[in-house]
Structure 1
Amino acid sequence: MQHKEEILNQLHAMCAKDEQATRCHHNYFTQEVNEDCRRKMVEWSFTVVDSFNLSRESVWRAMDILDRFLSSGKGSSVKARENKQSFQLASTVCLYMAVKVHEDVEMTIGFLVKLCRSYYTASEFISMEHDILFALRWSICQTTPLDFARQCLLLQLDCFDPETIDCILENTQKQMDLATSDVYFASYKQSSVGIACLGAALVESDVNSAEQEEFWSQLSSMLNFDFASKEVREVERHMLSGSTICKPKRQSQLVLSKTTSQKSCNEQTSPVSILSCV
């Protein structure tokens, strides 16, 4: 079990990195490639990771890479914003990169070709991966909202019983899964999205108001962090609007063990044809 001081140091480091991280700061969509295209690629990506028993967190990581690349204006990002096939290629490569870096599986370019039923060639995948890496200056390992939520709960393990902790983590993951489909969150800090997801998860886990208030009060005191900041309130307000994720049964007290399977990817095609995505 990690010591609280170690967890605090990790949270402070994560927050500092989050402050400096490059985000998607403008709407990059065009008439050809719109939000519906992105949503369909998110759905396809979830189908892929579920089929191979991978973490759904990899889809958030993939979309984070994609959003930052497409809003960078560098390399082939302009073409990917104006051509559905190029957008689809970039989206697939971003999922490949997220899985390759963060999952305990071996994924090859050959597997990627088979996954997409040879719609794209190996050279196209390699070229796009290089393009994305150089456009983002190799910055593809961002902290996720769930990372923040996990560390916050680790810091406050004495607040809840183990069963409740598991329930809160599961509900936080569900909130983040649903938020992945909405590009609105791409312009906000990962910590802000994580805090809002955790707040909604506390409500969905039937944690009473007094326990929620105590949880946030202690956490705020230890971290010296404003959990009711303007940005957090904006993120939570969008979540509560019901346009993105499941609306909690009641408002949270914010004021307004990750499990990874060590399973190898089989050399097989995509469970859903990528041709039908966009």
Structure 2
Amino acid sequence: CQHLIVDHFDFNREIVSISLSYLDRFLSTRPVNKKIFQLAAMTTLYLAIKLNEQGTLKMSSLIELSRGYFMVEHIAAMEEAILRALSWYVHPPTSLAFVRHLLMLIPSGSCSGIVKHELLELARFLTELAVCDYYFVTRKPSSIALAAVLNAMDGMSSSRLREDVRQRFVESVRFVAGLDCDNAEVEECQVRLRDMYFQGGYYQNHQESPKEHDGVTYDEDFQRSSPVCVGDVHQGQPINHPQSSQYFNSH
């Protein structure tokens, strides 16, 4: 599980989104079996860390994590195959990156720094939930981000985030970012994220009276925790040593 690995080595959790972007785009170019899928998942994580973190994840650590299923030659060859498949487009926009930019559109001085921080943390958590669901693979990162921010705002009471501030934010998003909060994809992402949040048990009732939005009750604060797993990776057996990256291009 990529989140567990990232947390263990104390890397930024956004690395998982970048890694899975590599993986999804790579898999869209060819069919693979379970063993190659596992190797590709490991390699995209290694590549994302190498390109986006100051610290490094040694290839020997990856080999140890694979329990000896793969060797250095496998990872190196797969890395080359992935880079070629991606045409070296290795800095994808992530939902969290959009979240950061969208929150800058909240009018200055309209809410406290604490509220803005809590909005960021909840929206960040919701984007991490999106990583766990294949449904979001075909959705735009900007739509996921906007849905996460809107859900985070819905979780704030009017005493902490005034309704007029929310409306001004919606208008700024439309005119500055060119995004429509009433867009069908955004609304679908909102519903999906909200359902995942409640059904996953992350919601926690507080003593204060919750508010209601579209038939769903929201607490004034959301429980801030993080998903621990993107999804279990199939366990495989050792594969034959490849002679070159062409081995992977043929699978």
Give the TM-score taking structure 1 as reference length. 0.66
**8 Å contact kept, 1:146–1:176:** yes
Q: Closer, same or farther in 2 for the Cα pair 1:121/1:239, shift >3 Å?
A: same
CA contact under 8 A between 1:145 and 1:191: conserved in structure 2? yes
Matches within 5 A, 1:31-46: 44-46=1-3
Structure 2 match to 1:17: none
Partner of residue 165, structure 2: 211
1:9-158 to 2 correspondences below 5 Å? 44-73=1-30, 78-79=31-32, 83-156=33-106, 158=108
* Distance in 1 separating the partners of 2:165 and 2:119: 13
Correspondence for 2:185 among 228, 231, 235: 231
- The structure richer in helix per residue is 1
Give aligned-pair identity as a percent.
28
Corresponding residue number in structure 2 for 1:162: 113
Q: Secondary structure at the match of 2:147?
A: helix
Question: What is the rounded CA distance, in whole Å, between the counterparts of 2:64 and 2:183 in structure 1?
Answer: 46
Q: Which runs of 4+ in 1 moved over 6 A?
A: none
- Structure 1 47/221 Cα, relative in aligned 2: closer, same or farther at 3 Å? same
Residue 171 of structure 1 contacts residue 204 of structure 1 at CA under 8 Å; is this kept in 2? no
Distance in 2 separating the partners of 1:47 and 1:119: 19
Tell me the CA shift for residue 225 of structure 1.
3.0
Q: 1:230 to 1:276 in 2, by over 3 A?
A: closer
Structure 2 letter corresponding to 1:234: E
Structure 2 distance, partners of 1:175, 1:193, is 9
Compute the displacement of 1:115 (Å). Answer: 3.2
Cα distance between partner residues in 1 of 2:172 and 2:127: 24
1:33-58 deviations in whole A, cap 9, x for unaligned? xxxxxxxxxxx111111111111111
Contact 1:179 1:245 in 2 (8 A): no
Tell me by how many angstroms 1:277 deviates. Answer: 5.2
| Residue 245 of structure 1, CA deviation | 3.5
Residue 256 of structure 1 corresponds to none
Change (3 A) 1:85 1:208: farther
SS in 2 for 1:178: helix
**1:201 correspondence with 2:201:** no
Deviation of the 1:189 alpha carbon: 1.2
The offset of 1:205, in angstroms, is 3.9
Is the contact made by 2:3 and 2:16 (CA closer than 8 Å) also made in structure 1? yes
Matched, 1:181 2:132: yes
SS at 2:104 equivalent: helix
Q: Partner of 1:139: helix, strand, or coil? A: coil
TM-score of the superposed pair, with normalisation by structure 2: 0.73
- Flag the structure with larger Rg: 2
8 Å CA contact 2:122, 2:152 repeated in 1: yes
Contact 1:171 1:205 in 2 (8 A): no
Number of equivalenced pairs? 205
Q: How far off is 1:234 after superposition?
A: 2.5
The AA in structure 2 aligned to 1:114 is E
AA aligned to 1:58 is I
